[in-house]
Amino acid sequence: MSSSIPDSQLGLTQSEVQLLRQHQQIALSHAGSSSSRAASHASSQGRLLLDPSSLQALSAHFDRLMYSIQQRWQYLSQQTQTATQIQYDRAGNAIQMADAEIARFRAILREIDELQVEFDKVRRIGEIVKGFKARVEQLERRI
């Protein structure tokens, strides 16, 4: 078979050769080529068909396959960017909400501190008033 080459001369691993054969069969069957039978025959002999029409079909098949992979990659890349942006936005919102709650909590703590100061003032005034009351009562008892 002059238009075929032994698989061993391709420098590919066995799994790569299998994949190449599989794609050659797919390419030739989609191209409606009569070379499909010849490719099967060559494959059964451990060879790969290399005539111009089968190589052209294989090249076109790989071009379509690469385009399909590229489209899928672009789609997945876009989905990844979208998901990342959504998570970034959620994280930003969570941070903003946390910052707002921290600010609210600090304001509450300031009010508590202010109330504590007022409470201490009122308690001191109450003690002073009790002291005056005790003095007044003492003075009344003297008088």
DSSP string, 85-136: HHHHHHHHHHHHHHHHHHHHHHHHHHHHHHHHHHHHHHHHHHHHHHHHHHHH
Distance in angstroms (rounded) separating the CA atoms of residues 124 and 121? 5
Buried b / exposed e along 37-59 (16+ C-beta atoms within 10 A): ebbeebbeeebbbbbeebbebbe
Span 49-71, pLDDT tens digits: 777 888 888 888 999 999 999 99
Residue 12's pLDDT is 85
Ordered by start, the domain boundaries in the chain are 4-93
**pTM score of the predicted model:** 0.55
Span 83-137, pLDDT tens digits: 999 999 999 999 999 999 999 999 999 999 999 999 999 999 999 999 999 999 9
Structure tokens belonging to residue 64? 């379509």
Residue 36's pLDDT is 66
Q: What angle is formed at CA 42 by the lines to CA 38 and CA 48, rounded to 5 degrees?
A: 110
Estimate to the nearest angstrom the gap between the alpha carbon of 55 and the chain centroid: 40
